[in-house]
Amino acid sequence: MKGMSAKTALLAFVLIIAVAIFAGYAIIWISNELGYKAVSTGESYGEKIGSNVEITGVLGVDSDMDKLLDSFVVLLHNAGSSYMNYSDVVISIYTNDWYGFFTYAENATYMPGSNYEVNIVYDKEVDGLFSPGDIIEVCIVLDQHQHLPANRWVRLAVLYKGYRVSIVNFRTSFSTGKYTSLYPASF
């Protein structure tokens, strides 16, 4: 009887662990799915980026539905009280089996309370590599001279016509290298 009782307890323990792991993955999956929403090109909305910058809208400019947009416009608003400098921003877009780099070099000083349009054009060689419904993550790397303090939470929203909006959270982290990376994280 004692042997049977120990086996039953062990089986129950293993079952509890398995259920807990399954529940954890389910929660992560659901939270990731809720992070994406479908909207159409031309819609405008506000997303906070830390306490300084706000994306007021992202507008696509390509009508071809079977490939990623040729370019898009990010509308930024400096909601802080200090100047911010952006230079040589690198935007990386990842899918399940491919990634590409989107770059623009714009030495701009964003004045407090001002709005700015950021035009981003991607390499045409990536045409046809994306399909509607793909989950697209966006990472951005800022020059180390930019003025976002370390450990500031950052959120970037990007809109593609016919595709989901990807809203990715980042945390700023200063390093000794050339770039300050914004690492994916969660609130």
Identify the pLDDT of residue 14.
Answer: 84
Is the pLDDT at 69 greater than 70, yes or no?
no
Q: What is the mean pLDDT of residues 25-52?
A: 39
Q: What is the mean pLDDT of residues 24-44?
A: 41
Is the pLDDT at 11 greater than 80, yes or no?
yes
Is the pLDDT at 175 greater than 50, yes or no?
no
Is the pLDDT at 172 greater than 80, yes or no?
no
How far is 84 from 86, CA to CA, in rounded Å? 7
Identify the pLDDT of residue 99.
Answer: 39
Q: What is the mean pLDDT of residues 59-77?
A: 39
Q: What digits encode the pLDDT tens for the residues 47-66?
A: 333 333 444 333 333 333 33
By the 8 A CB rule, do 153 and 184 touch? no
Identify the pLDDT of residue 92.
Answer: 40
How far is 121 from 3, CA to CA, in rounded Å? 68
Question: Taking all residues of the chain, what is their mean pLDDT, rounded to a whole number?
Answer: 44
Task: Tell me the pLDDT band of 113, cut-offs 50, 70 and 90.
Answer: low
Q: What tokens were used for 136?
A: 């697209």
CB within 8 Å of 116: residues ≥ 6 apart = 75, 76, 77, 78, 108, 110
Q: What digits encode the pLDDT tens for the residues 124-138?
A: 334 444 444 333 333
Question: Dihedral of CA 145/146/147/151: which sign?
Answer: negative
Is the pLDDT at 8 greater than 70, yes or no?
yes
How far is 101 from 120, CA to CA, in rounded Å? 11
